[in-house]
Amino acid sequence: MEFVAYDWWTQFVRWGHIISGIMWIGHLWYFNFTQTPTMPKIPTELRPAVVRFILPEALFWFRWGAMFTLGFGIILAWMNGYLLDAIKIGLGSNNHKFTAIGIGMWLGTIMWFNVWFIIMPNQNKVMGVTSATPDEVNAARRTAGLASRVNTMLSIPMLYGMVFSAHFY
Amino acid sequence: MEKLLNSLAGTVVAGFVLVIVEILVIHAIH
């Protein structure tokens, strides 16, 4: 008898994927639904508290949530044996699930790329981690904000693809 | 597009429109 069965490991990886995903998308929605719309209402002298203390901490959990979600997700698809079918969004197979999970995976991967290669480098300029002129900081804030909004938009069909594939049939 | 995404409500509506596109794509492939 195996000490820990293969099925147990797929459940563990699925659980890791979901809690990392909540960490990631929870912070994404916090930024877009709470922090960004509230910033203009915060008195100027209090704003550094958000930018210097809350934002770096939130971005830490946000970006590593994204990394672990992607990592666990790829391992899970591989363990379930449909990684390639999902990458091909079910083309050449006769299964709706591969198309749904595949679209979800591609959207999630675009979102992960946005986090690590667009949002973070620009937020680092906004937070002063990397040096930038005031004009560059303003441009960086706009680019990061836009990429964050794109991710919020994509999170809706991404989650539909993920949940649809597991529960519709 | 940027104007749409600057509005939170616009972002959410665009997300739901993409869900409909997604359903159409899933059914178009199969």
Residue A1 forms part of a structural domain: no
Residue-number span of the structural domain to which A146 is assigned: 6-167
| Residue A90 backbone zone (phi > 0: left; psi -120 to 50: alpha; other: beta) | left
Q: Is pLDDT at A169 greater than 60 in this prediction?
A: no
The total number of structural domains that make up chain A: 1
On whether the CB atoms of residues A108 and A73 are closer than 8 A, the answer is yes
Smallest CA–CA distance, residue A78 to chain B, in Å, is 21
Q: What is the DSSP letter of A49?
A: H
Q: What is the pLDDT of residue A54?
A: 96
* Span A8-12, average pLDDT: 94
Q: CB contact, 8 Å: A100 with chain B?
A: yes
Q: In chain B, which residues touch A (CB < 8 A)?
A: 2, 5-6, 8, 11-12, 14-16, 18-19, 21-22, 25-26, 29-30
| Cβ–Cβ below 8 Å for A96 and B30 | yes
Q: Which helix (H) or strand (E) holds B6?
A: helix B2-6
Backbone angles phi, psi at A128, to 5 degrees: 85, 15
pTM metric for this prediction: 0.93
* Span A96-103, average pLDDT: 94
Q: Percent of chain B scored above 90 by pLDDT?
A: 80
Cα–Cα distances (Å) from A92 to A85, A87, A89, A98, A122, in that order, read 8, 12, 9, 10, 40
Q: What is the pLDDT of residue A3?
A: 63
Q: Which of B4, B11, B13, B25 to mutate to test the interface with A (most CBs of A within 10 A)?
A: B11
Q: How many CB atoms lie within 10 A of CB A16?
A: 17
Give the model confidence (pLDDT) of A118-149 as tens digits: 999 999 999 999 999 999 999 999 999 999 99
Q: Which residue in B8, B15, B25 is closest to A156 by CB distance?
A: B15
Smallest CA–CA distance, residue B28 to chain A, in Å, is 10
Per-residue pLDDT band at A89 (split at 50, 70, 90): very high
| Cβ–Cβ below 8 Å for B30 and A33 | no
| Cβ–Cβ below 8 Å for B18 and A90 | no
On whether the CB atoms of residues A140 and A126 are closer than 8 A, the answer is yes
On whether the CB atoms of residues A65 and A20 are closer than 8 A, the answer is yes
Q: Name residue A90's amino acid.
A: G
Question: Where do we find the tokens 């999170």?
Answer: A155
Q: What is the pLDDT of residue B21?
A: 97
> Does the predicted interface ipTM exceed a cut of 0.90?
yes
Q: Domain locations in chain B?
A: 1-30
The answer to whether the Cα torsion of A38, A40, A46, A47 is positive or negative is: positive
Per-residue pLDDT band at B1 (split at 50, 70, 90): confident
